[in-house]
Amino acid sequence: MAELSAFLGWAPKLLARPPTPAPGVEWIASASPCLAKTAEGYWSDPTRNAALLYDTRQQALTVEGANALALLGFRALGVRFDADGPHEVAATQTFGDTTAAEAPGPHDRRLGFDVVQFDAMGFGCAPLSCNGLYPGRAVNQYGLFEDEEAAREFGEHVGRVGLYEPPPFHLVEVWGDLAE
């Protein structure tokens, strides 16, 4: 059986200021490009991997404008949420083969957990940030869940309800070398 979780890769992202104030939330570091935009040349770059991310930090930094952005990494945790609830799904089944992706290094830390769509264009909407659902929830300074269980509960909710964005959604860890 395939491994459920897998590190997917890296993307240069512009951390956004939260459009709706919420206690403790200073930045939006979502997997979604809706608020946390990617570098200018990212969308047309054919060198991205099967998950439409870069395998290495070095590769991600070659994208035009990347040096002025934060470098974020993403790990799929092998959970998909839809109207029928949560399902264990091997990362390769959704995101393809990302075995060449460089894992987080000693200076990286997990910034939090996000629940996000994924399709042929890459990461899609993440209701927590895109639909402004972070206020009033137990999120950290990056607008992400600190607690995996809280992220799973949120994923089950948005997957079943489908009011915010159409499911399915996937549970991902967001990594980076950002100051506390």
pTM over 0.85: yes
Task: Let me know if residue 62 belongs to a domain.
Answer: yes
For residue 165, what is the DSSP state? S
pLDDT score at 156 = 95
In a domain, 1, yes or no: no
pLDDT of amino acid 58? 94
Residue 107 counted as domain residue:
yes
More confident residue, 2 or 42: 42
Give Dmax (Cα) for the chain: 44
Give the CA-trace dihedral at 68, 69, 70, 74, to 10 degrees.
-140
For residue 11, count CB atoms less than 10 angstroms from its CB and return exposed for 0-12, middle for 13-18, buried for 19 or more. buried
Q: Structurally, how many domains does the chain consist of?
A: 1
Give residue 117's domain range: 6-176
Q: Which helix (H) or strand (E) holds 149?
A: helix 148-161
pLDDT digits (tens, 9 = 90+) for 55-94: 999 999 999 888 889 999 999 999 999 999 999 999 999 9
pLDDT band at 178 (very low <50, low <70, confident <90, very high): confident
The pLDDT tens digits of the residues spanning 148-158 come to: 999 999 999 99
